[in-house]
């Protein structure tokens, strides 16, 4: 068994700090917030700000948008050197932030990684730590990994697939995928999946503490006092829906 560096509380504090210190807060606004305002009254002040800032009609956002809630700016297609997203276990609310805007997307070496949030109705929590309204899902190839949150040490692209209803807003990065301590399990369509306190996307060839979930490294590596397991682990199933 691998030796993990910390527990859920430490990961939550680290994720919360990373989001709070980010240069730019990001709200992944689903299409329904734009095209069904009467059914989604809560975010309409922010949505009206987006419409005023862009001068675009609601119908334009049929695939949702990444939004800076401070300004109403649409961030689709922009890239940043780092970022973090997480679901606060105390409030159940997700948060996302990015830092150091890049002139163009310059991906790190490693496997392609997409991420999104899955809603509670799409999974069954099997432990108290996973009984949350949302979880972070990280997808690389046909593998899906789940956590309270994810941090990016690799450049992240705010990618809108423009394919209609959810899921369409999938931050994209490249690198190795590392899982910190497993804090619980969830059931999706009758299959059990581990849930980690945190998933880290870091450039390939830069070992981190925890379990290597994506990108083969021959043998075992000692990193920061933790045992890092080489090889692949993961699950395959259909895409999830975000928000």
134 and 189 part of one domain: yes
57 and 112 part of one domain: no
Domains of the chain: total? 2
30 with 108: CB under 8 angstroms? no
68 and 139 part of one domain: no
Would you call the peptide bond into 236 cis, given omega within 30 degrees of 0 as the criterion?
no
pLDDT band at 166 (very low <50, low <70, confident <90, very high): low
Q: Which of 167, 165, 164, 120 is nearest to 139 (CA)?
A: 167
85 and 38 part of one domain: no
d(CA 76, CA 72): 12
34 and 12 part of one domain: no
d(CA 11, CA 197): 6
Query: Which pTM value belongs to this model?
Result: 0.83
Residues composing the chain = 243
84 and 139 part of one domain: yes
Chain centroid offset of residue 226 CA: 24
238 with 137: CB under 8 angstroms? no
20 and 31 part of one domain: no
pLDDT in tens, 129-164: 999 999 999 998 888 999 999 999 999 999 999 988
pLDDT in tens, 41-60: 999 999 999 999 999 999 99
**Residue 243: inside a domain, yes or no?**
no
d(CA 196, CA 188): 16
52 and 82 part of one domain: no
Q: 34 lies in which domain range?
A: 27-74
Pairing of strands 149-152, 191-196: unpaired
**Residue 196: inside a domain, yes or no?**
yes
58 and 170 part of one domain: no
**Residue 233: inside a domain, yes or no?**
no
């Amino acid at each position: 068994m691998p030796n993990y560096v910390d527990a859920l509380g430490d990961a939550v504090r680290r994720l919360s700090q990373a989001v709070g210190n980010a240069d730019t807060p990001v709200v992944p606004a689903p299409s329904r917030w734009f095209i069904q305002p009467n059914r989604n009254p809560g975010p309409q002040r922010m949505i009206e700000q987006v419409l005023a800032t862009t001068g675009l009609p609601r119908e334009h956002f049929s695939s949702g948008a990444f939004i800076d809630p401070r300004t109403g700016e649409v961030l689709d297609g922009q890239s940043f050197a780092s970022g973090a997203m997480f679901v606060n276990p105390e409030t159940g609310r997700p948060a996302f932030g990015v830092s150091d805007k890049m002139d163009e997307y310059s991906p790190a070496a490693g496997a392609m990684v997409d991420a999104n949030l899955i809603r509670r109705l799409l999974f069954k929590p099997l432990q108290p730590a996973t009984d949350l309204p949302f979880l972070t899902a990280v997808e690389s190839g046909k593998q899906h990994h789940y956590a309270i949150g994810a941090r990016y040490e690799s450049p992240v692209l705010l990618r809108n697939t423009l394919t209609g209803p959810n899921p369409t807003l999938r931050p994209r990065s490249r690198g190795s995928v590392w899982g910190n301590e497993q804090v619980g399990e969830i059931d999706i369509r009758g299959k059990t999946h581990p849930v980690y306190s945190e998933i880290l996307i870091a450039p390939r060839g830069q070992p981190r503490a925890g379990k290597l979930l994506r990108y083969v490294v021959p043998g075992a590596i000692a990193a920061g006092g933790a045992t890092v397991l080489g090889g692949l682990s993961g699950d395959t199933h259909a895409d999830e829906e975000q928000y």
